[in-house]
Every structure is written in structure tokens, then in C-alpha cells.
Structure 1
Amino acid sequence: MYRRRILDEDDESHDRWLISYADFITLLFAFFVVMYATSTINLNKYRALSSAVVTAFQGKPGQTEAPEAQTQATLQNQSSVLKPLPLSYLYQEKKLRDQEKVRAIGQRIAQALTPWIEQKNITVYQSELGIEVDIENSLLFNQDQSSYTPQASPVINALSDLLKNEYRSIQIEGHSDKQLFNEQADAERKRWALTAAQAAQITASLISNGLASKQLIAIGMADTKPVSSSDNSLAQRLNSRVTVRILTAESSMQQASRVANRQELAIEAVETPAPLPAAPVKSATPIPAASNR
């Protein structure tokens, strides 16, 4: 009778794990080779690799066009290497994000000043410089003066509450209509003085309400920046206004660079050109009279 041989436990191979380990190392090496090869990506080869991977794992051939089938014009239009984003793109993205933040500030200001906006005494705009709040002078100041009206305090307090936590440059401009003081002597000087005093008055009130003085710029513009013609009383009322402008980060940097980049000019000696020598004066030769013969 055939007797089955009893296997000794020592006959079992304890080195079979080396085969699995070797397969693992091979796959790992292949993985790193692929990763190194794709560190500088060629778009055509990347598409071919993607199609091959899809075919290997799903059993479906990829739909990617072979590199040889592409025309030379297509290859020229495609960038063979993925390049980092240019600084101009990053700068544009930063600028857009800052404009969105400024727009959110403008929306909060418009919401806080809704009663006066509905009465057409205040208008809120957004421009490339930032948010502009136009306030009619009749709401803030007594007629042709820099003293406040009773309605001015709620408006200034509302602006102060919204802006004292915003570390942005704020420009306050005083404007007038060209018909103001037109019948008085020295009318232009009075318009300049009044608009400068009104802008300074608003600036001082914002500082007293908690805003930093280094954030604020006060400018009197007189009648140099009208928003309407002076044909009627409504147009004149629109021109007589105070503009509170919350500047964007770019506009603030431009304002700062105007001071930081200035250079003192030294007085240069101007050389006086030497006088030219006087030309000799020739004596006039008389014309002899014709003799009558």
C-alpha cells in the first residue's frame, strides 16, 4: 500500500515573503519613476499616460488623440511645460480681492445711511479709487459756512462707527458751486477757503470720534470738480458737497509713494553766457549824383 510521506515542518519555506517584498519594491520603483517623469509635465505625454492608465484599470481605450495626430499649429499653441502663475496675474487677483472688500464696506455704509440716501441728501458710489460718499452741504453745514447743522451729528457719528475699525486711508474733499460768492469781491478765494474749512471740520470730527489722524486727508477743491452744470438750483446743490472717499489699498500705496519717492533738488548755478562781441559798424557810402553832360 502506498504510504503518504509525512512532511516535516522544517521543509516549509520561510523565505516566500521575499517574493512579495521584491514585487512591492518593483512596483514602488515604477511608481517613483513615473512620478519623476511627470515632474516636468509634457501635455501630450500626460494625455497618453492618462489614456493608458484608464485602459489598464477600466479596460476601455482612452479617447485622447494621439500626439502624432495633432497638427503642428496645435502643438505650437499649447504650452509644453506648465509654468508658474505670473506676478501680474497674482497682482490682479490681489487687486480684485481688495476691491471686493472695499465694496463690502460701501454696502455697509449705504445700509447705515439709508434714511438720508432715500431723501437724496447722500449718494454712495464705487470707483477705481474706492468708495465715495457724497454728502450735500445743506445737510452738514449752515448756508455758506463751516458750522454744523443739527442734522450733521447723526451722519458723522454713523460714518465714524463704520470707519474707525477700518485701517484704510480716507480722503475728505470739500466742493462748491462756481456761482457761490459770485456777486462778492474775491469770490474765488472765498470758495477755496470755505471748502478747505469744511473738509477740515469733518476731518476733526472723525478724529474726535476715534479715527487715527494719519488715515485722514483733508482737501478743499473749491469749484474745480463739479458733478453737474450750474444751470439751476438743483445742479448747484449737487455741486456743493463733501466727498468722503475710502481708498483702496492700491490708491493708498500711491498716496504714500508720492511722499516717499520725492527727492530734494539742489540749487544749480546757472552760467551766464558771455556777451557776443559787437559787430563793426560800416560807414555808409554816399551814392554819387548823376552828372548831366
Structure 2
Amino acid sequence: MYRRKQWDDEEESHERWLISYADFITLLFAFFVVMYATSTINLNKYRALSDAVVTAFQGKPGQVTTLDAQTQTSLQNQSSVLKPLPLSYLYQEKKQRDQEKVHAIGQQLANTLTPWIEQKLIAVYQSDLGIEVDIQSRLLFNSLQATYTPQALAVLNAAGGQLKNEYRTIQVEGHCDRHLFNGQADAETKRWELSAAQASHVTASLAGQGIASKWLSATGMAETKPVSSSDNEFAQALNSRITLRILTAESSTQQSSNIANRQEIQPAIVPSPTLPETEPPILPAQATP
């Protein structure tokens, strides 16, 4: 019996993917053209491009919307090049966002420390440097000492719990009133020592809350930065305080750059004056035992 010869199927084309790829690239190009057109704030150019794209996709070549004379003149007068935003604008935007974040930190601290704020023992401020939390020394320390009061740890735990995840530079400053240790010997020295010791204690407590030591610093300011010049007891209580300052990103960067850009100054080479030669002193003879 005669058998029909089976013909092999035609070889499969391995280049058919190029057609789909070309269609994809064409659509992608059209998409970016549309995106570029919409990024420019020019309604006339947007309408013209939109009409051209719609006409092309509807399959009616040659039917392009004719622009009027006023539109053509407007397109000719306006540049098609996108101008980048100035660096000053970007810097101000970044600074504004950081200020808003810092304000949010201050609001959280104020909410957490509400019981002591209502008692006028703590005050929260916002400045150009960042957030400043003034805590009266009598709330944290016993009189004229650097030992904690019973409620000190509760205050520091509340503040540290809010700050341990912020990763910002925190300055701890100790302040004293100028009337402390009056009548005692070395009163000024004692005020410096007390303010530095209290600031160091608070810094160590914040580090114990989980704040990295690289974000912390302690400074004793003695009576150099009073908040009130009055002599009454309330003013003296305000002056004797601990200040927690949470810096903005700009203030922290400025301090870091100041340290990084400092240059060492070597002493000038000046010939030392010639001293007259003197004979060595004659030592008394030691008695032999």
C-alpha cells in the first residue's frame, strides 16, 4: 500500500518575539512622550499633543488639529526646555520638612511630660536650633547636690522613651542661679562644678534609656545663661535648671562641619633669647651613715 510521505512541519521562527518587542517599545515611547508633555505647565502644548496622540491612536493619519495663530505664537515664544528647580528652593523644602519633624517631637514630649508642665516644673520650647526642654533642678536633684530626687527617674524615663528612636543630637546643659552658694568660699567654682555634675548625671541616665552616646553631650553652664534677672525665689528656680536640646538636622550638621573643618595652628618659629650661662648650684654633701 502506498504511504503518503509525512512532510516535516516548517521550522518554527525564533524571531517572532521581535514584533511584540517592537510594539512594546513603541507604546513605551508614546507613554513617555505623554508624560513629558504633562510635566510642563503649558495648556496649549498639552492640548496640541493630546490631539495629536488621539488622532494617531484612532488610526486617522493626516487629520491633525490645526492650531490657531495665537496658539502658534504662544508655542514659539515659550521654551520647551524644562528648567530644574533652584537649589535654594530644594534646601528650603528640606529645612521646612525637618522643622516639621522636630515640631512633632516637641509635641510628643509636651504630651508625655504634661503632669509636670501643668505644675510649672517643665517647659518645652521650639527655637531655630531645635526643641528645648527646661526642667527645673529641684524636680531632678536634691538641694545643691547632684543626687536624684524620688521623681527624677520617672521624668527622665518619660523623656528618654520619646527620644531613644529619634537619632538626633541631644545636648544636655546644666544651669545654676547666681545666688547659689552665696557667702561660701569658692562659690563660683562650686556653681560650675554643680552644673556640670548635674548635666553629666542626666546624660548618663539618657544613655541608660538606649540613646547612643554619640548623640549625647553634657555641658555645665553655671550662671552664664539665666532666663530671668529677678531676685525672687521663682526666678531663681527658673535659672537653676537642666536643658535638653534636641537639634535640627541643620544645626547638627553645622556643628559636625565645624569640627571636621578646623585647622591646627602651629606656633611661630621665634628664636629663643640667649640666656646667660650660670654655674650649676652646689649641693650640700650628703652625710655618710
Q: For the residues of structure 2 that align with 1:48 and 1:258, how far apart are their CA atoms?
A: 51
Q: For the residues of structure 2 that align with 1:152 and 1:209, how far apart are their CA atoms?
A: 14
Match of 2:253 in 1: 253
Residues 69-95 of structure 1: per-residue CA shift (max 9 Å, x gap): 9xxxxx8xx988541011121111111
Q: Judging changes above 3 Å, is the alpha-carbon distance between structure 1 residues 52 and 204 closer, same or farther for their aligned structure 2 residues?
A: closer
Q: For the residues of structure 1 that align with 2:176 and 2:225, how far apart are their CA atoms?
A: 8
Match of 2:96 in 1: 96
Query: % of aligned pairs identical?
Result: 61
Give 3-state SS (helix, strand or coil) of 2:177's partner. coil
Are 1:54 and 1:62, in contact at CA under 8 Å, matched by a contact in 2?
Answer: no
Q: Judging changes above 3 Å, is the alpha-carbon distance between structure 1 residues 91 and 54 closer, same or farther for their aligned structure 2 residues?
A: closer
Match of 2:240 in 1: 240
C-alpha displacement of 1:209: 2.3
Structure with higher Rg: it is 1
Q: For the residues of structure 1 that align with 2:181 and 2:68, how far apart are their CA atoms?
A: 79
Match of 2:262 in 1: 262
Give 3-state SS (helix, strand or coil) of 1:135's partner. strand
Q: Judging changes above 3 Å, is the alpha-carbon distance between structure 1 residues 136 and 79 closer, same or farther for their aligned structure 2 residues?
A: farther
Residues 53-109 of structure 1: per-residue CA shift (max 9 Å, x gap): 79999xxx999976879xxxxx8xx98854101112111111111111111111111
Are 1:178 and 1:230, in contact at CA under 8 Å, matched by a contact in 2?
Answer: no
Are 1:51 and 1:62, in contact at CA under 8 Å, matched by a contact in 2?
Answer: no
Identify unmatched segments of 5+ residues in structure 1.
1-27, 70-74, 274-293
Find out whether 1:185 has 2:185 as its counterpart.
yes
Q: For the residues of structure 2 that align with 1:82 and 1:109, how far apart are their CA atoms?
A: 44
Residues 261-289 of structure 1: per-residue CA shift (max 9 Å, x gap): 1222222213699xxxxxxxxxxxxxxxx
Q: For the residues of structure 2 that align with 1:256 and 1:79, how far apart are their CA atoms?
A: 43
Q: TM-score, normalised by structure 1?
A: 0.68
Q: For the residues of structure 2 that align with 1:135 and 1:100, how far apart are their CA atoms?
A: 23
Give 3-state SS (helix, strand or coil) of 1:124's partner. strand
Are 1:122 and 1:134, in contact at CA under 8 Å, matched by a contact in 2?
Answer: yes
Match of 2:278 in 1: none
Give 3-state SS (helix, strand or coil) of 2:174's partner. strand
Residues 167-199 of structure 1: per-residue CA shift (max 9 Å, x gap): 111100001111112222222111111100000
Match of 1:221 in 2: 221
Match of 1:140 in 2: 140
